[in-house]
Chain A
Amino acid sequence: MSLSPADPLEGGQARPTGTVFIEARNLEVGYRSKGSFNPGLKGFSATFGPGITGLIGPNGAGKSTFLRTVCGLLEPRGGELKVGGKSPRAYVETHGVGFLPEVPHFPSFLTVGEFLDGVAGALADGAKPSADYGYVPGLDLLLDRGVQELSQGQRKKVALGAALMGAPEVVLLDEPTNGLDPVAVRELRELLAELGRQGFTVVVSSHHLDELQRLADALVFVLDGKALGSWSREEALSAFGSLDVLYEQAFFGRIS
């Protein structure tokens, strides 16, 4: 894996495990739609530290809403959310984060190289546009392609390249493996594992429980806008045997 000035594997700022970096207390977040307010999170409380935390739960539970709120795209209406001790917006404005939306969109008139160079030009840490985006495997082969020509999996790679650029300490990934082929999934797993080892705070929302079982250091189950429970991987596996069992028991109300 090659390195570049914007390479997260080079620029990571290790933090000791066990420290809390993202803290949500009774968080209330929602969307305004046609005059009414639709709550996405209702009293969500959880903490996230360095390493990889998996967010699991059914569709519409509030996982993506939480990631968007940490990223500063949504404002909390109640409760408290601190990222690195600051409000999400204040943290993002001073440090930046790495956010991979579930369905990434790009300015359709750009090539991949132009897109990434434009994002790299925005970084305050001195990172300059670079032809070397090899920290995401296979990304450097796409630089001359138009973003509109890309397959779903290739779009995910480009989005991951932009999200990880500048080595943000907080990385938020919404369904990162959707659309990726098995080799790309394995490469992504290795990349995330490395980020986790280096002390990045990585939050991954995913329905791929087998992936999270291999990868995540901690797990949070989200249901109806609330964090139903959180476990370290060891705790989860010793209590339930597998994440499939944890998921089913939580989903059917056997965990309070």
Chain B
Amino acid sequence: MSRPSRGISGALIWRRAYWLRREPGRKGIAIYLLVPALFFLPLGESGPFPRSAVQGLLIVILSLALGIRLGGGRGLRAEDQVWLSQKGVSLGDVALEDWILDLLPMAALSLWWGLTAYLASIGEGWRPLSVFVVSGTAFLLSLLTRTLVGVISAFGYRGAGDLAAGLIVISFLLFQVSFFVSPAAQTAIRLGTLPIFRIPEAVRALLEGDLAVAAPDLLHILALLGVMLWATYWRMERWRPLV
């Protein structure tokens, strides 16, 4: 007899309610949809930073916030899982189903941000390809962050969002340091930190067909996603909610 599974449609019943009422919630969704209106303001034109840098920073912040909140420990608590566990459902499957479903809001919002950034910048000569560069970057940023928070939560750390944010800050600082060190140290830093701040360049290179530049970082991202998902599944298969 095979193990029961909720399947994607069963998982969607709880996940949809989670999106609408918890993370990001209706207010959060409205904020994610409305903040890109800032792209249409003359941001940065009279300040020290170029307009595109301000837009980029906003998109990075939105993407990281979305990833951290979707994967956060405020999702299913341990004691909530007992209802699925007692019916024989694999909790590893539950974690993977939720991860797959979270791709939907991440993809939709990333596309929205890419589209609004492009529309706000047509006058500055942005090409249509920019939509996909911005959307792809936002999607990979939120995906990597969501998966990171998910694996930290799976191992029982309650402040998973805070820890993930800390790791992202450290990766950012080391990314800046890497410009001033030897090639060997640069490689070590690249492999040992989250590839979050290399995503924009990798996505742009991919869309422009420059595989030699895009491939190493994209492979790093894929490998990291694979390892984190496997670790999440492995841990959740062995864990039992103690109520």
Contact = CB atoms under 8 A, between A and B. Distances in A.
Given A92-B88, A96-B4, A107 B76 contact: yes
A119 interface: yes
A114 B14 contact: yes
Interface residues of B, number: 33
A105 B85 contact: no
A103 B3 CA distance: 27
A255 interface: no
Contacts of B9: 121
A48 interface: no
Contacts of B241: 73
- Measured as residues with beta carbon below 8 angstroms from the partner, the interface class of chain A is 35 or more
Interface in B73-110: 76-77, 79-80, 82-90
A8 to B, nearest CB: 13
B87 A119 contact: yes
A23 interface: no
Contacts of A218: none
A122 B206 CA distance: 40
Given A109-B18, A124-B88, A93 B3 contact: yes
Contacts of A119: 83-84, 87
Nearest to B84: A122
B13 A117 contact: yes
Nearest to A95: B88
Nearest to B1: A94
Given A94-B88, A121-B10, A121-B13, A73 B240 contact: yes
Contacts of A115: 14, 83
Contacts of B89: 122
A72 interface: yes
A74 B240 CA distance: 8
A9 interface: no
Interface of B is mostly: loop
A118 interface: yes
A217 to B, nearest CB: 23
Nearest to B86: A99
A97 B22 CA distance: 30
B243 A122 contact: no
B86 A163 contact: yes
B42 interface: no
B82 A107 contact: no
A121 B243 contact: no
B13 A92 contact: no
A108 B22 CA distance: 9
A122 B14 CA distance: 12
A106 B90 CA distance: 18
Interface in B44-62: none
A71 interface: yes
B220 to A, nearest CB: 35
Contacts of A118: 6, 10-11, 13-14
Interface in A76-112: 92-99, 101, 103, 105-111
Given A93-B3, A96-B86, A121-B6, A101 B17 contact: no
Interface of A is mostly: loop
A162 B82 CA distance: 10
Interface string B1-39: 111111101110110011001100000000000000000
Given A121-B13, A124-B4, A92 B242 contact: no
A29 B101 CA distance: 37
A166 interface: yes
Given A97-B86, A122-B89, A109 B21 contact: yes
A226 interface: no
B82 A101 contact: yes
A123 B86 contact: no
A62 interface: no
B5 A122 contact: yes
Nearest to B21: A109
28 contacts: A71-B85, A72-B85, A73-B242, A92-B88, A93-B3, A95-B1, A96-B4, A96-B86, A96-B87, A99-B86, A101-B243, A105-B82, A105-B243, A107-B76, A108-B22, A110-B14, A114-B14, A115-B83, A118-B11, A121-B10, A122-B4, A122-B6, A122-B10, A122-B84, A124-B1, A124-B2, A124-B3, A124-B4
